[in-house]
Amino acid sequence: MVGVNTLKLLNKESVLAMAQESNVLFVRLQFVDILGTPKNIIIPASGLQSALDDGIPFDASSIAGYATIEESDKIARPDPASFVILPESVEQRKTAKLNCDIFEPNGKRFEGDVKYVLEKIMQKAVRFGYIYNTGPECEFFLFKKNGDTSSVIPNDTAGYFDLSHRDLAEGVRADISLALEAVGIRPYTAHHECADGQQEINFQYADAITTADRVITLKYITKVIATKHNLHASFMPKPLYSQCGSGMHTHQSLFTLDGINAFYDPNNPNELSSIAYHFIAGLLKYIKELSGVLNQTVNSYKRLVPGYEAPTYISWANQNRSALIRIPSKRGISTRCELRNLDVSCNPYLAFSVMLAAGLRGIEDNLEPPAPVEKNIYSLTEDERRKYGIEELPDSLGHALMIMSKSEMVKETLGEHIFENLLHVKRKEWDAYRLQVTKWELENYLPIL
């Protein structure tokens, strides 16, 4: 098994040796499109050396946001440091996985490679003297397979942290956790969440590129393991009416290059540094512009409504869980801020990119956040929220795209290629959605109008 610390030491020679010693038969060369959908090219182990030497050419014309037919040739170059052997619980045959960087035929990095976007903004953070770490809380649902995609039946009716006969997913979570450990991802909690059939698995924080890789791997492993239990795992943000949706609350911190948490200041009343305050202020200032990336589906905005533990108001607080940004109580090396509006339908590479860009803008411009709001924001009247200067997040994908389309900061961070392609794909999704006539409309309007 390749552990987390071992990953960084791998090179072409050690990867080839490990593949041979472990009798690997196939290798998955993976990358993701602009929406965060995993893609892969499977090669026999006999082709691994050639792939590591020269990459694998492929036609990208059918991959969302990648290229037109006229400019579709791309090359996937495996990153040896990402090599892992997938466990038998995930693959029937001995199979390894490598993440790929995407290049143009002329050797230049492809501007539509979402990992490249995150690498560039992480390099900017390094020039500031910081490593950007993220730690997401990944929620998902388990549904019974009933052959009908228009209706869902939760796997169980257990509640938050339940230890009872109603929690039917304990074995599923255990199998997912073991499979994650086998590929070097160490979970530290797994439990039932609030809604029927809703689960959560958390893993250790890491630099944002490593974490984005892990989110994609977790989603893949979760779906495979669920299928083995004759269940369907869904990362849809809001699949059940009148119940809580699935988020991806993400904890963020900046560490100096010599390993010191830059958010911690023991001499401040809240033990937060000026860097932490500037970073939080940047997130608050630009959060509306980021929403089209952090909450990228029509369904995302059905989760972001009052009353279901998801943030709808732009504020921050030290403990208040109704706030958009929360500061967990631990300090010292664990000092961090938690952004709570993300959901698991997002592309983690792009989401972490724009979050870091907003935080760095806050540091560059010496922005100061407003006072924290420790009250339950959902219980405040509109006048009280106005008094505190609390604004609302976008309330639909269309609203979020309109704001994002005018954002110089998001465009600069994503690059023109991804920015324009993401807007194009998501506008088509929004148009397709708003042209639908739903069952709810027919039931409520047809009899009386």
Eight-class DSSP state of 266: T
Active site residue 249: yes
Report the first-to-last Cα separation within the chain, whole angstroms.
65
Percent helix, strand, coil in the chain, to 5, is 40, 20, 40
Choice among 77, 340, 361, 385 that is catalytic? 340
Active site residue 338: yes
In 3D, which of 14, 23, 3 has the Cα closest to residue 93? 23
Choice among 28, 214, 232, 249 that is catalytic? 249
Eight-class DSSP state of 312: -
Choice among 113, 156, 175, 193 that is catalytic? 193
Choice among 175, 196, 338, 343 that is catalytic? 338
Eight-class DSSP state of 154: B
Active site residue 271: no
The span from the CA of 414 to the CA of 117, in Å, is 6
The span from the CA of 167 to the CA of 26, in Å, is 37
Choice among 101, 113, 137, 289 that is catalytic? 137
The span from the CA of 35 to the CA of 65, in Å, is 8
In 3D, which of 163, 168, 155 has the Cα closest to residue 196? 155
Choice among 53, 54, 59, 368 that is catalytic? 59
| 162's tokens | 């339940």
Active site residue 431: no
Which alpha helices (DSSP H) does 198-347 contain, by range? 208-228, 274-294, 300-303
Task: Return the SS3 of 7.
Answer: helix
Eight-class DSSP state of 23: T
Choice among 54, 88, 186, 321 that is catalytic? 321
Handedness of CA 397, 399, 400, 405 (dihedral sign): positive
Active site residue 59: yes
Residue type, 261: N
Asked if 297 contacts 397 with a C-beta cutoff of 8 angstroms, the reply is yes
Question: Which residues contact residue 183 at a Cβ distance below 8 angstroms, ignoring those fewer than 6 apart?
Answer: 1, 2, 84, 85, 86, 87, 97, 217, 221
The span from the CA of 409 to the CA of 414, in Å, is 9
Active site residue 193: yes
Question: Which residues contact residue 75 at a Cβ distance below 8 angstroms, ignoring those fewer than 6 apart?
Answer: 55, 56, 57, 58, 102, 103, 104, 105
Residue type, 435: L
- Which run of H or E residues covers position 424? helix 408-434
Active site residue 340: yes
Question: Which residues contact residue 71 at a Cβ distance below 8 angstroms, ignoring those fewer than 6 apart?
Answer: none
User: How distant, in Å, are the alpha carbons of 120, 175, 278 from that of 352?
Assistant: 12, 28, 17
Active site residue 434: no
What is the phi-psi region of residue 23: left when phi exceeds 0, alpha when psi lies from -120 to 50, beta otherwise?
A: left
Residue type, 129: G
Q: Which residues are catalytic?
A: 59, 137, 139, 193, 200, 249, 321, 338, 340
